[in-house]
Structure 1
């Protein structure tokens, strides 16, 4: 039965049989199920399930499930906005400081004396014919300079993902250069800065692909700094990643950092009167009111 499609009417009946209180107008619930989907909403009623048969705990309300869904959506849009701002700033710093050090080599990212051999083994997998033809400025460069194997870093990196940019930083051989860049974000140790970047790439990708993030688990854990305290010392939840994002944003713009902090607090506080959702925010996401 699990592999059979069910009608909206059957979905409503199944939810009721499992103990969910349908505390909204039936037409509105049907509209939600047709808009968001029964399967996707399942990620948001999962915290209310009490057994493998997917029965719900007492007083589980459809309205709370929907509130949790909208919390997730709003938080996802908010985080990706500020992570994208960090990505832009980091890309600029990586290009500038590395290019200033190697002023005669605009394609230093393809030089085995500057980046690791392991990185260079993979570079052709993404800087290939498709990359050269689908990205306008890269295409123009190779038309104008057909003998060039690669375009300058300031052109190329505009078309790299955040994860790809972070990978370049990870594979820089000059540790003093890595530290010089990390210090721009008030992080003394490059390996800790690397951990922060990897964490935010993971969060960013989860947000960009409409992942469920209220209970996001960061397997590696977020490295700690003396100035950053995690609630309940938990470095694996989304709140830890948010605190690191706030810390790094401070080095870019204190106003942006303050705006992000206030936006997050306003979002969470909008659920402060809903004890059910509030508890999930505290237990799953790691935020403490």
Structure 2
């Protein structure tokens, strides 16, 4: 059997015994522990632990842990907004460029000469009666067109998740068709766009499910991009994903790219005077503070 649940008072006593400075009002500390949770806050005090017994570095403050937690929260909100902007743009480009290439086939996403077998073998389980009924425009299409097995891609894809849309792109057989889409983002090789999209789907899902973002690890790593250098040449961190997002955003909207940069600057500069958080931002996120 695992460890037993503990009371808030016991949790506070544990933090104190391990060397954390409880520099907030005790009622406020209890509020944070009841609101966020002792286990979840562990992701944010972990950088300050110095041994296997979970003792803290001398001078570690509870308020610093809370600051790191809210940095993470604010960063999630920023990233998900701009990844959603990419999602819309990518969906539109996928529909336009592939559909105009196969202009006599509005349901090209179901065609075995266009899509891989691996993709098509699962489409019936996804595009089923439940899918048709629960999505208003799809249901309306089939009511008006009872002989159609599928609705055109521009209707269907409106109800696909970002990950599902990226899967469609991944499973188009003809690489030249995939290239029609990738070149819209100044990327010649579709496999590179695929890598960026997979990365940002992962980040988006982590944000949507309240994952820990500042310390995110991207297993596959992010491909190199012109004019962007990863922090410590490490392509598996959130820093690399942010730079991938900035790169593609440049070809979606320069205004939105600049807006994203300004919001990140504003967020990170909130912690410029907090040397502990500033160091984490520099080391984990590769942010370079101006003098």
Does the alignment pair 1:196 with 2:196? yes
Does the alignment pair 1:52 with 2:52? yes
Does the alignment pair 1:282 with 2:282? yes
Query: Cα offset for 1:2?
Result: 5.2
Query: Cα offset for 1:87?
Result: 0.3
Deviations 1:255-277 (A, max 9, x none): 10000011111111111111111
Q: Which residue of 2 aligns with 1:237?
A: 237
Conserved 8 A contact 1:216-1:285: no
Q: Which residue of 1 aligns with 2:147?
A: 147
Q: Distance in 2 between matches of 1:63 and 1:260?
A: 27
Q: Distance in 2 between matches of 1:226 and 1:28?
A: 47
Structure 1 segments (4+ residues) deviating >6 Å: none
Q: Which residue of 1 aligns with 2:219?
A: 219
Conserved 8 A contact 2:239-2:284: no
Q: Distance in 2 between matches of 1:233 and 1:128?
A: 45
Conserved 8 A contact 2:19-2:58: yes
Query: Cα offset for 1:195?
Result: 0.6
Equivalenced residue count is 289
Q: Distance in 2 between matches of 1:129 and 1:6?
A: 47
Q: Distance in 2 between matches of 1:285 and 1:226?
A: 19
Deviations 1:239-268 (A, max 9, x none): 111111011111111010000011111111
**Structure 1, unaligned runs of 5 or more:** none
Secondary structure at the counterpart of residue 252 of structure 1:
coil
Does the alignment pair 1:210 with 2:210? yes
TM-score, structure 2 as length reference: 0.96
Q: Distance in 2 between matches of 1:240 and 1:224?
A: 9
Deviations 1:137-180 (A, max 9, x none): 11222222222221110111011010110111111122112111
**Structure 2, unaligned runs of 5 or more:** none
Deviations 1:16-46 (A, max 9, x none): 1111110000111111111111111111111
